[in-house]
């Protein structure tokens, strides 16, 4: 949302119902190691009534579509932990549109969405890889969400738990 990496004609706040952000994938290179994995974020289906994930939707010019999708696939599908999926979203202006997003592949061997928040917080607090720590990664997500005035209580709580563990 904060680093699209492509040209777009319009950007709006958007809501995806039935999903939430989660630190749900083991990272053994960028944010951890095989011995001490960190975690990275994905979008997971919640199944709970009223659950929503607020983010941003980008409209791209039709002539750029193939190039943009190829770029995003190359960036997001390095380890195939995400599934590119067409989803229905509601834009801030009230329109309902179909958008492409990258949902968590819950069948992937690195998916740990069923871990307790405590276990996730330990991995976040301890994982450090080639691109930095898992804790820095989560702090960056929460900071950018704050900058966009998006409240994500779950991610904020997970960050607080990981910081508590790191500081103890």
Reading the block at residue 27, the tokens are: 């990272």
Mean pLDDT of the chain: 95
* Residue 24 in this model has a pLDDT that exceeds 90: yes
Longest dimension (CA), the chain: 53
Q: β-strand 132-133 against 96-104: which pairing, if any?
A: unpaired
Mean pLDDT on 45-70: 91
83 pLDDT band (50/70/90 cuts)?
Answer: very high
Instruction: Write out the CATH class of domain 10-157.
Output: alpha beta
> ∠ CA(79), CA(145), CA(84), 5° rounding?
30
Confidence of residue 78 (pLDDT cuts 50, 70, 90): confident
Domain boundaries, the chain: 10-157
Buried b / exposed e across 96-125, counting CB within 10 Å, b at 16+? eeebbbbbbbeebebbbeebeeeebbbbbb
Q: Which residues pair with 15 in a beta bridge?
A: 54, 90
> In terms of Cα–Cα distance, which of 42, 53, 48 is closest to 13?
53
Q: What is the pLDDT of residue 2?
A: 75
Q: Which is higher by pLDDT, 56 or 1?
A: 56
- Answer yes or no: is pLDDT of 49 > 80: no
Confidence of residue 132 (pLDDT cuts 50, 70, 90): very high
85-123 pLDDT, tens per residue? 999 999 999 999 999 999 999 999 999 999 999 999 999
Are residues 127 and 37 in contact, defined by beta-carbon separation less than 8 angstroms? yes
pLDDT over 80 (residue 79): yes
Residues above pLDDT 70, as percent of the chain? 100
């Amino acid at each position: 949302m904060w680093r699209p990496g492509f040209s777009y004609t319009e950007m709006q706040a958007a809501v995806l119902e039935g999903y939430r952000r989660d630190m749900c994938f083991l990272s053994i290179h960028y944010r951890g190691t095989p011995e001490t994995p960190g975690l990275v974020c994905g979008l997971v289906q919640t199944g709970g009534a009223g659950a929503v994930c607020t983010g941003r939707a980008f409209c791209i010019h039709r002539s750029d579509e193939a190039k943009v999708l190829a770029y995003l696939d190359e960036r997001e599908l390095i380890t195939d932990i995400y599934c590119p999926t067409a989803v229905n979203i509601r834009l801030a202006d009230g329109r309902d549109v179909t958008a492409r997003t990258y949902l968590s592949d819950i069948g992937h061997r690195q998916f740990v969405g069923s871990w307790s928040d405590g276990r996730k917080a330990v991995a976040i607090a301890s994982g450090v890889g080639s691109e930095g720590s898992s804790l820095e990664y989560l702090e960056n997500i929460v900071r950018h969400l704050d900058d966009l005035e998006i409240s994500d209580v779950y991610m904020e709580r997970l960050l607080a738990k990981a910081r508590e563990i790191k500081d103890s």
